[in-house]
Amino acid sequence: MSQTSPTLQLIERAELIKQGAEARVYKLPVYFPEPSIRWPSKLRKLAEETPQASSSTQSSSPTPLLLKHRFPKTYRHPHLDSLLTRQRIQSESRSLLRCLKAGITVPLLRMVDVEAGMVGMEWIDGWSVREVLGGGAEGEEADPELEDEGEVDEEKARRRKEAEGALASLGITIEQLMTSIGKTLSTLHLAQIIHGDLTTSNMMLRPAPTRSAGYEIVLIDFGLSSHSNVPENLAVDLYVLERAFASTHPTSERWYQGVLDAYAKGLGEKKWALVGGRLDEVRLRGRKRDMIG
Amino acid sequence: MESYHLSHFPVDHSSVHLAFFKNVTNSADLRKRLVAAATMEGEEGDRERDLLDYAFVEANMIVDREQLLTAIYSALQAASSGSLKTKTLHSEVLLSLHPSATPQINEALRKFGISATTKNLILVRIGPPSSCSTTSTSTSSPPSSDEDAKAEHEQKLVDAMSDLVEGEMTSLSQLRESDVDWKGLKKLYKLNEMNLPSNAPSTETEKDMLAAVITSTIATKTVAG
Ligand SMILES: Nc1ncnc2c1ncn2[C@@H]1O[C@H](COP(=O)(O)OP(=O)(O)OP(=O)(O)O)[C@@H](O)[C@H]1O
Ligand SMILES: [Mg+2]
């Protein structure tokens, strides 16, 4: 039939980093290749005589791109499938744009190809908070025995060690990290953005030498996000994270309290009164559900 | 001039060439020629259109390479899927730069195209990697001759550009240091809601923030609104 679209061809040059149920995530090392640079012949002659004229040949260094491919799902009707894919891409890119406008650090967008189900965004050079807290990479068990079996290859082990040393190398404590996360989440909610899937895998820690703190929290994975200012929705968003903390980082209760404290402070007393109250109700509902199910 | 070779696009538009000129003095003349060339007849008309076969971009509306390359990518994408909204890839680039999902081409040209008073100008040429490769169908020809043909083509192109434009060719890395129209950009890309302190960004961090929104707006246009 038709030739593979240029966007899909990018996958051939990319490295698969996560195979999910909804999407495959790739790292594309080079989006636009390094350009060749040429100067007009008359300038070049000039440059040979006066060396400094040729000094401004500085060019862009190729930056990697994150490709998120929402591949076709054969178990769904094709029409429904492309509709759902479009909706996911739409809400993800709208939320990312809204975040950028609100000053929340998220990956910037480089390419959207709805027909191909592809979004290309800035590659965040850092670690997921999950890795930093010793939970391993997503999909990988936080089980030390695995290493004994020699199942974890060297690269993974090296990365894990690097992630776990990230806090020390940046000179920050877990408490400080938790405070940053809480503050970031309050900004998100003040901008009326509901993330929809807050987990420690969907938050990244990136070194940022130009910032006074030396690092920044980058939120990712906005596929389930929405726009809302209703306290119930904000509370559910937080509750999802609470559960994620409890299951991925079993000894994390104290850490998580740090997130909540900073969140409450960021939100402001009045608003926190509403959201905090809701959160108690949501927790209660969750516990009841657990008892039945 | 910077030349990007994108092998995953059809060979006829697999090469993108960009050149940035500062202190341009013949913009009024170039504009006149562009208008006249559109209706010029005969061989002379073809030659003139060939000489002027670029997107002439108002550089004060461009903050960095990413913004321009993102628009170029979506124009190429539109061409590949047969959904060009304008007659040529070059005018499609100007259209892609505009934040509106359905801009009038005239409006896009007014904002991003060359005007009689343009002082800083970017030429964009999208085409095959070298003048002969459109006809060559073999992909297994020795790479060295391919590279030579490319290099020769690029040198001819950059010389043609510098003959056409009276100004100083400069690295595109200098874009932000030149006279970016932040006020115009903020209005057009609706960046005023970002509650940044002043009209023109004062720090690099602020510029980065604005540039990120501009590039992302262009990239997400097809799903915006
Ligand atoms: N912009 C990025 N830069 C670097 N790494 C990223 C980026 N986005 C995602 N990742 C990595 O890829 C993993 C998966 O990405 P993401 O969470 O967006 O996909 P997903 O969970 O499969 O998506 P969804 O839940 O919408 O189906 C992340 O946990 C993170 O480690
Ligand atoms: Mg995820």
Length of chain A: 293
Q: Domain containing B44 — which CATH number?
A: 3.30.2380.10
Provide CATH 1.10.510.10 ranges for chain A.
Answer: 127-292
| B156: closest chain A residue by CA | A40
- Is the CATH number of domain A6-122 3.40.50.150? no
Query: pLDDT digits over A45-100, tens only?
Result: 766 665 544 444 455 567 899 999 999 998 899 999 999 999 999 999 999 999 99
Work out the end-to-end distance of chain A between its first and last CA atoms, rounded to an integer number of angstroms. 49
Q: Which atom of ligand 1 is nearest to the CA of A22?
A: 27
Domain hosting residue B41, numbered range = 2-131+142-180
Does B206 map to a domain? no
Q: Ligand 1 atom 16: the closest Cα is on which residue?
A: A221
Is any ligand 1 atom within 6 A of the Cβ of residue A108?
Answer: no
Is any ligand 1 atom within 6 A of the Cβ of residue A128?
Answer: yes
Residues 6-65 of chain B whose Cβ lies under 8 A from any Cβ of chain A: 6, 8-9, 18, 65
CA dist B193 and A48 (Å) reads 50
CB contact under 8 A, B3 and A39: no
Flag residues of chain A having pLDDT under 70: 1-3, 46-61, 139-152, 293
Identify the bridge partners of residue A169 per DSSP, sorted by sequence position. none
Among A12, A36, A54, A95, most B C-beta atoms within 10 A, so best to mutate, is: A36
Chain B residue numbers touching A109 (CB-CB < 8 A):
215-216, 219-220
B172 touches chain A (CB under 8 A): yes
DSSP state of A33: P
Cβ neighbors of B193 (< 8 A, separation 6 or more) are A101
Is any ligand 1 atom within 6 A of the Cβ of residue A116?
Answer: no
Q: Which amino acid would we find at residue B165?
A: V
CA dist A18 and A134 (Å) reads 19
Question: What's the whole-model pTM score?
Answer: 0.90
Instruction: Please state, rounded to an integer, the average pLDDT across all residues of chain B.
Output: 90
Does B66 map to a domain? yes
Does B166 map to a domain? yes
Helix ranges restricted to H, B114-224? 143-164, 182-188, 204-219
Is any ligand 1 atom within 6 A of the Cβ of residue A135?
Answer: no
Please report, for residues A26, A112, A138, A204, A228, the alpha-carbon distance to residue A20 in angstroms, rounded to integers and kept in the order given: 11, 19, 10, 18, 27
Instruction: Out of A43, A109, A112, name the one closest to residue B169 (CB).
Output: A43
Q: Ligand 1 atom 8: the closest Cα is on which residue?
A: A220
Gap from CA of B183 to ligand 1 centroid (Å): 35
Helix (H) or strand (E) holding A129: helix A129-132
B164 touches chain A (CB under 8 A): no
Please report, for residues A109, A194, A276, B195, the alpha-carbon distance to residue A185 in angstroms, rounded to integers and kept in the order given: 21, 9, 14, 19
| Architecture, CATH, for domain A127-292 | Orthogonal Bundle (1.10)
Nearest-ligand number for the alpha carbon of A15: 1
Chain B residue numbers touching A32 (CB-CB < 8 A):
4, 6, 69
Local confidence pLDDT in tens for the 225 residues of chain B: 999 999 889 999 999 999 999 999 999 999 999 999 989 999 999 999 999 999 999 999 999 999 999 999 999 999 998 889 999 999 999 999 999 988 889 999 999 999 999 999 999 999 999 875 444 444 555 556 888 899 999 999 999 999 999 999 999 999 998 899 999 999 999 888 776 666 678 788 889 999 999 999 999 998 886
Question: What is the per-residue pLDDT for A145?
Answer: 46
Question: What is the per-residue pLDDT for A148?
Answer: 46
B73 touches chain A (CB under 8 A): yes
CB contact under 8 A, A40 and B70: no
Identify the bridge partners of residue B19 per DSSP, sorted by sequence position. B123
E strands, chain A, in order: 15-19, 24-28, 36-37, 65-69, 109-113, 118-122, 127-128, 193-194, 203-207, 215-219, 226-227
Is any ligand 1 atom within 6 A of the Cβ of residue A260?
Answer: no
Q: Which atom of ligand 1 is nearest to the CA of A224?
A: 26
**Taking ligand 2, which is a single-atom ion, which protein residues have CB atoms under 5 Å away?**
A 202, 221
Report the SS3 class of residue B157: helix
CA dist A231 and A272 (Å) reads 9
Instruction: Out of B1, B70, B173, name the one closest to residue A110 (CB).
Output: B70
CB contact under 8 A, B204 and A114: no
Give me the total of CB pairs closer than 8 Å, taking one residue from chain A and one from chain B.
121
Query: pLDDT digits over B84-119, tens only?
Result: 999 999 999 999 999 998 888 999 999 999 999 999
Q: Which residue from A149, A156, A175, A163 is spatially nearest to A17, judged by alpha carbons? A: A156
Question: What is the per-residue pLDDT for B134?
Answer: 45
B84-114 burial, b at 16+ Cβ within 10 Å, e below that, comes to eebeebbbbbbbbbbbeeebebeebbebbbb
Is any ligand 1 atom within 6 A of the Cβ of residue A119?
Answer: no
Identify the bridge partners of residue B20 per DSSP, sorted by sequence position. B122, B170
Contacts 24+ apart (CB under 8 A), A157-160: A159/A131, A160/A131, A160/A136
Catalytic residue positions of A? 197
Tokens (6 digits) for A17: 């980093």
Kindly provide the ipTM of the predicted complex, given to two decimals.
0.88
Provide CATH 3.30.200.20 ranges for chain A.
Answer: 6-122
Tokens (6 digits) for A104: 């929340």
